[in-house]
């Protein structure tokens, strides 16, 4: 809830008004008139601190609300609402769904309730909450992606906050694997469904090989393999740089992972996707 001032037509004067984040209404604290109605809500706001009943005839808030209005105005909790607004902006910039955004808010609120946010970089904390929410909801994002919307907070700082949050909130976040990232990364470079399926199956088979590479680098290498063997010309034209950018890794990192996986191509690439003799189309690292 936020307080401000506005002109009330009933009081015929500028009065103190309050914005109810649950309903989106702007209400005069002197007479209870709803000055502005907006469809806005936030499921994370404390128990719907303000519950407003509007009558059809005069559109005024129920009189029992007014004492609570003044009580809230004396103890505004603006910082949490500001944080929620920032989290919403971050989530929108990453095109995250509402369930992830709201879960990130829940995590931040729990951390705030435990006084974790005091004296720390709130941007890094919010970014860490988004990272954890993405993982918990099964739509993981890389630290590098999260950092692009973190208002200057570094990946190192976000990762440190993430680890601290996991401990204090007892969050058992999933480890990001290449399979979780594959469909989104493949879509980014326009791969067809058949190629995406081949990427995912190749990734799953590559886990049987003792090649210690990060999920993103393994994904980039496999995407590059499948791209070279694709029936789609636009996919075959994809470069190392294209797949590396989609997987959020350096080109040199993709090259190393590709070199490690190349000797096992016949074992990991599904035979329904390509014939054994066609594997010679793959670039030799």
Q: Look at residues 190, 277, 274, 185 and name the one whose alpha carbon lies nearest to residue 228.
A: 274
Mean pLDDT of 11-25: 64
- Per-residue pLDDT tens over the stretch 60-70: 444 443 443 33
Q: Look at residues 269, 148, 109 and name the one whose alpha carbon lies nearest to residue 205.
A: 269
Helix, strand and coil percent figures for the chain, each rounded to 5: 55, 10, 35
Task: Return the minimum-mean-pLDDT range out of 10-24, 107-121, 214-228.
Answer: 10-24
Mean pLDDT of 201-214: 85
Return the pLDDT at 70: 39
Cα separation, 37 vs 116, in Å, equals 35
260, 213 in Cβ contact below 8 A?
A: yes
Given a cut of 50, whether residue 133 has pLDDT beyond it is: yes
* pTM of this structure: 0.52
Tell me the HSE value of 127 on the side-chain side, using a 13 A CA sphere: 26
- Per-residue pLDDT tens over the stretch 83-123: 899 999 999 999 888 889 999 999 999 999 999 988 899 99
């Amino acid at each position: 809830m936020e307080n401000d001032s506005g002109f009330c037509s009933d009081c015929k004067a500028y009065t103190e008004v309050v914005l109810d984040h649950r309903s989106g209404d702007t209400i005069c604290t002197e007479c209870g008139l709803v000055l502005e109605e907006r469809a806005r809500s936030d499921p994370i706001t404390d128990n719907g601190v303000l519950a407003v009943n509007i009558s059809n005839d005069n559109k005024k808030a129920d009189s029992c609300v007014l004492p609570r209005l003044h009580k809230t105005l004396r103890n505004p909790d603006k910082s949490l609402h500001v944080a929620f607004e920032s989290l919403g902006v971050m989530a929108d910039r990453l095109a995250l769904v509402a369930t992830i955004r709201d879960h990130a808010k829940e995590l931040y609120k729990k951390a705030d309730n435990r006084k974790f946010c005091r004296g720390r970089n709130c941007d890094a904390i919010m970014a860490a909450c988004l990272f954890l929410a993405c993982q918990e909801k099964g739509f993981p994002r890389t630290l590098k992606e999260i950092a692009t919307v973190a208002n200057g907070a570094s990946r190192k700082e976000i990762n440190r906050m993430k680890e601290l949050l996991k401990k204090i909130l007892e969050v058992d976040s999933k480890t990001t694997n290449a399979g979780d990232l594959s469909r989104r990364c493949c879509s980014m470079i326009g791969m067809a469904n058949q190629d995406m399926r081949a990427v995912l199956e190749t990734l799953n088979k590559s886990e049987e090989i003792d090649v210690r590479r990060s999920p993103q680098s393994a994904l980039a290498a496999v995407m590059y393999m499948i791209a070279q063997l694709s029936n789609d010309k636009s996919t075959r034209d994809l470069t190392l740089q294209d797949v590396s950018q989609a997987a959020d890794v350096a080109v040199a990192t993709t090259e190393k992972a590709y070199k490690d996986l190349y000797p096992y191509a016949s074992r990991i690439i599904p035979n329904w996707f390509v014939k054994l003799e066609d594997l010679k189309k793959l670039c030799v690292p």
